[in-house]
Amino acid sequence: MENTIKKNVKRGRPSQSINTSKFNPNMVKLIRGEDLIFSDSLLTPMKTSPQLDSILSSEEGLMPGVMMMVAGGPGSGKTTLTLDVLARLTEQGLKVLFVSGEMDEVGHYKYCKRMPQFNKVQTLFLKNHKDTVKETLEYVFNLGYDVIALDSIAEVLNMYKDSNNCTQRTAETFLIELEDAQKKGNNIGKYYTTFINIQQMTKAGDASGSNRLKHMVDAFAFIEVDTEQVERTIKFEKNRDGGTGEKISFSINTQGVEYGYGME
């Protein structure tokens, strides 16, 4: 068969065929770090709050060009913390986008009434584009943003699967490749986009869906909350731009998010 290599049968193993039709050795590139060319803006952190910045990166701030996942159970404060970060960045003039796969305009209106500081955050309600999820995300992301948050990533993937009649793996591949292209500045504005992917946790304490996304992101943060929904902490279990293990406490009230200091 053309473009197929057949392995010899050894030690009773059946022969296997390896399809090499898609492989082009001329496309394989081996590089050194000195060959890479990016803007030094990749090394300039975006400031949120002093306490949170201390664990976001070694540079103390949210770094450009990062794919991050923020996970936690229902009511842990994932959405509120993320919107607080986006609001703080918006106030500084940075270009941010909140992609809501769960709330509609009514729910978001009520949310902003309780916490007015979120009013200025630009928002895309993906439910309004459930039949064109792929095209909508590609178009909007290509406009270029400093930071894009997806809430939640599970809902975004489900809508993509429904509109494209595809598997979970296909949906994940689409999103990973789309975010990867944006973090490298492949958009109209040449922004090295940072993504905050909000993820729900199962009753067993695992991230919803497959672990593929967790392994593919640059940073994974986990939010814990006590039984009385009062004391909350966030820590990174994976962070290529900084350390892991240190916890930061935070509380949520009508003024937004108030951060504490590091905890053992």
Q: Which residues contact 170 (CB under 8 A, 6 or more apart)?
A: 161, 164
Averaged pLDDT for residues 181-203: 92
Provide the CATH number for the domain around residue 139: 3.40.50.300
For 252, phi then psi, to 5°, come to -120, 130
Residue 3 within a domain: no
Residue 22 within a domain: no
| Structural domains in the chain (count) | 1
Residue 50 within a domain: yes
- Name the residue among 147, 63, 56 with its Cα closest to residue 99: 147
Residue 44 within a domain: yes
pLDDT, residue 226, reads 77
Residue 234 within a domain: yes
Whether 77 contacts 223, CB under 8 Å: yes
- For the chain, give the longest Cα–Cα distance: 70
Residue 10 within a domain: no
Domain that holds residue 49: 39-263
pLDDT-wise least confident of 9-18, 32-41, 102-111, 231-240: 9-18
Per-residue pLDDT at 5 exceeds 50 = no
pTM score above 0.85: yes
Residue 161 within a domain: yes
Per-residue model confidence as pLDDT tens digits over 64-79 = 999 999 999 888 899 9
Per-residue pLDDT at 2 exceeds 90 = no
Residue 11 within a domain: no
Which pLDDT band holds residue 204 (cuts at 50, 70, 90)?
low
Per-residue pLDDT at 203 exceeds 90 = no
Gyration radius of the chain over CA positions = 21
